[in-house]
């Protein structure tokens, strides 16, 4: 039984919905990969960020899929955020149909599809797919996080790999993931104070997944970012044992229409103990 539009979706119920939500994200990933790159239509939005026909089609698939799985659930989606309902209800979805459009247009494999279920301002479930890598990460708060290797269009039963993932205990010298396109001076200053062994730049929410599977220790961004860019990744990271907070250490809150769905900045850590130590 699916919840009504006004029902609250807690972590346990989100866990029961995870296969259905993952199928929706997988269909969007398949649609992105099915479009020949030579036929990708591109335009610029009012903020000069790029948007393509693949973004629009992926969003259509996700919104329609959510309408069937969770009828009446409010959806905050990047390409149609202006049409988000004034009253979101107890729970709602936050969607980025193609995060890392710049990477997509540059031919890199880092772009992702993101879907989060948010209840009471907290991302309780998240799914992130990397279409060009054939990977899907997912998790629920209080549950576990896992990574699946899929054949897009063949359904969740096609998983060639399915494993539980966990963050790692932070070593003395850290590995930091940073944004390829949005690295700012405040983030650079923050990183300069840390004992780093390595750092690397990467596009999209895939950095949260790299933390969740223990490939990196932190991902800071101290400049504003849209909720749909990070909500799903935050849920997966939390499910894997990590934590994401605002720069002052307070929990992140989502669904803030009063802030135009902007988060002023965040620091994501794989090891919560190290987050406390470096605060």
Q: What mean pLDDT comes out for the span 121-134?
A: 97
Q: Is the pLDDT of residue 101 over 90?
A: no
Q: What is the pLDDT of residue 4?
A: 47
Q: Is the pLDDT of residue 32 over 90?
A: yes
Q: What is the pLDDT of residue 212?
A: 98
Q: Give the CATH architecture of domain 11-165.
A: 2-Layer Sandwich (3.30)
Q: What mean pLDDT comes out for the span 130-153?
A: 95
Four-CA torsion 111, 180, 95, 88, nearest 10 degrees: 180
Closest CA to 277 of 177, 143, 174, 199: 174
Q: If pLDDT is split at 50, 70 and 90, which confidence band does 48 have?
A: very low
Q: Is 197 exposed, middle or buried (0-12, 13-18, 19+ CB in 10 A)?
A: exposed
Q: Is the pLDDT of residue 84 over 90?
A: no
Q: What is the pLDDT of residue 41?
A: 53
Q: What mean pLDDT comes out for the span 166-192?
A: 94
- Specify the pTM: 0.93
What is the DSSP secondary structure assignment for residue 157, as one 8-state letter?
A: G
* Residue pair 114/127 in contact by the 8 Å Cβ criterion: yes
Question: Does 174-278 carry CATH code 3.40.190.80?
Answer: yes
Q: Is the pLDDT of residue 86 over 90?
A: no
Domain positions in the chain are: 11-165, 174-278
Specify the 3-state DSSP secondary structure of 145.
Answer: strand
């Amino acid at each position: 039984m699916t919840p009504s539009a006004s029902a609250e979706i807690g972590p346990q119920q989100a866990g029961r919905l995870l296969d259905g939500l993952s199928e929706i994200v997988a269909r969007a990933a398949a649609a992105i990969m099915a479009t020949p790159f030579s036929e990708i239509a591109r335009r610029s939005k009012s903020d000069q960020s790029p948007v393509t026909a693949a973004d629009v089609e992926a969003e259509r698939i996700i919104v329609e899929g959510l309408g069937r799985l969770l009828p009446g659930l409010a959806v905050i989606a990047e390409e149609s955020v202006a049409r988000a309902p004034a009253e979101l209800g107890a729970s709602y979805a936050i969607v980025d149909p193609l995060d890392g459009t710049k990477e997509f247009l540059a031919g890199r494999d880092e772009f992702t599809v993101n879907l989060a279920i948010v209840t009471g301002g907290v991302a309780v479930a998240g799914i992130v797919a990397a279409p060009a890598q054939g990977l899907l990460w997912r998790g629920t708060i209080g549950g576990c996080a896992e990574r699946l290797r899929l054949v897009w269009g063949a359904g969740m039963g096609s998983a060639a790999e399915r494993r539980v993932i966990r963050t790692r205990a932070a070593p003395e010298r850290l590995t930091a993931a940073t944004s390829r396109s949005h690295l700012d001076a405040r983030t650079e200053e923050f990183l300069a104070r840390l004992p780093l062994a390595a750092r690397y730049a990467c596009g999209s929410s895939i950095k949260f997944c790299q933390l969740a599977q223990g490939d990196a220790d932190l991902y800071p961004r101290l400049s504003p970012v849209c909720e749909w860019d990070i909500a799903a990744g935050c849920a997966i990271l939390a499910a894997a044992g990590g934590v994401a907070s605002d720069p002052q250490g307070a929990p992140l809150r989502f669904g803030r229409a009063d802030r135009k769905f902007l988060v002023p900045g965040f620091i994501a850590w794989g090891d919560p103990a190290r987050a406390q130590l470096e605060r």
